[in-house]
Amino acid sequence: MLLAIDPSIMSLGWAVFIPCADAHPHLVSFGTVKRETGGLPLEQRIDVIIEGLEEAITSLTFPISKCEAVIIEKPQLWGAFKSVASMHSGALLALHILVGALYWWGKTRFFKAHLVPVSEWKGQLSKEITQRRMEAKYSVKFKTDDESDAVGIGDHYITKGAKK
């Protein structure tokens, strides 16, 4: 089993997969962690998000302890206005700090953690296109684009990234 994460301080997406050798990966579960963290200092916001993720995966009906690794999207700075604005506002730095905390959490919880750069798994595709593609591939309907991004990250890692 693998846990894939689309990191965010506001709305973190996650997905659990069972890799299959002869077919596309089996998507076991997925969800979104949303917590009200607006007025908290960054370190407390990160704690709240990771606690929410821990609650979500431990409430699953199968043993998450069988998870072999956590796969996390690695943020990147693009030339786009939104990306540059997030850098100047401090949001990109906060995201990098969250990714570091999630990486540490994954290494200590599952022994393996991998970062997958955005440019490697989807490039500059919009969240809407990614969501439509993942919904079609897995025959599911996502509540948030964070869920579909987590599924896309895990799908990419299993079908392309892990073979490198």
Are 75 and 92 a contacting pair, CB within 8 Å?
yes
pLDDT tens digits, one per residue of 92-108:
888 999 999 999 999 99
Would you give the end-to-end CA distance of the chain in angstroms? 19
What are the sequence ranges of the domains in the chain?
2-163
Q: Looking at the domain 2-163, which fold is it?
A: Nucleotidyltransferase; domain 5 (3.30.420)
Taking CA atoms, 132 is separated from 12, 40, 151, in Å, by: 19, 34, 12
Rounded to two decimals, the pTM is: 0.89
pLDDT tens digits, one per residue of 19-59:
887 677 899 999 999 977 778 899 999 999 999 999 999 88
What mean pLDDT value characterizes the chain? 87
Residue 18, token pair as written in the block: 């069972």
Beta strands in 35-144 (DSSP E): 69-74, 113-117
Are 151 and 129 a contacting pair, CB within 8 Å?
no
Which SS3 state, helix, strand or coil, does residue 33 take? Answer: strand
Q: Which of 77-86, 93-102, 154-163 has the lowest mean pLDDT?
A: 77-86
Residue 102, token pair as written in the block: 């999630």
Residue 82, token pair as written in the block: 């939104």
Q: What is the pLDDT of residue 146?
A: 95
Residue 75's region, left for phi above 0, alpha for psi from -120 to 50, else beta, is beta
